[in-house]
Structure 1
Amino acid sequence: MDNLYVNEIPKGSKVNPQAQNSAVYKEDVVKLEAPMRTGGSVTYSSNGDGTINVYNNIPYNWESSQTSDYSKMDNVTRKAIEENIDTIYVKPTDNRTVFELASKVKYNE
């Protein structure tokens, strides 16, 4: 992967930005996205102690047939931020590896 896109999403932002009745994030989160949909995405929040909470039910985008029923969007987005969350320890690594990964990051504004 040549690039990795980083979206910083503040607490209170809609889980599905296109839906009027979307639930909102209860904490600041970060969404990492590959440049192509097939590369996927990861949405997580930091616990400040070397662990992160990974939200496994947040799709790359909200346009799939399973997530496009806007009449149920409040329920779908609420479940996405309340269920199927993994807490993962992020192992510290050497500075060279961090530098190589950081050079691929592109921040979305």
Structure 2
Amino acid sequence: KIFDPLGLLSPVVIQPKIILQRLWQQKIDWDEPVSQAIKEDWEKFSNNLICLNNLHVSRIVVCDAPKLIEMHSFSDASQCAYGACIYMRTVNYNDDVTVRLLCAKSKVSPIKPTTMPRLEL
């Protein structure tokens, strides 16, 4: 498990979870080689991990002397996964706008077929 209570790594962590679910669906044993498609997806994921070295997340979510604070939430779903995020938008008295990710959550879609509207809820 990864300790990520705010879900800031959700976009990264969901990719290997989808790959694991595909492996479970194929009922592959530990000693069996994986399919070429799964191998390519895993290599693509692992090669992109280096980008996390450049990631900087500011924990200051409200600007100094805000005159307006708004919270915006978004959610979306696909056949593979679904997720939601909340952003904090603040405007100070100089009309400078700051938008910061507050939290996010993602999950792998269930194996049992579910309708898209239900996933998007």
Q: Which has the higher helix share?
A: 2
Choose 1 or 2 for highest CA Rg: 2
Q: TM-score, normalised by structure 1?
A: 0.29
Q: TM-score, normalised by structure 2?
A: 0.27
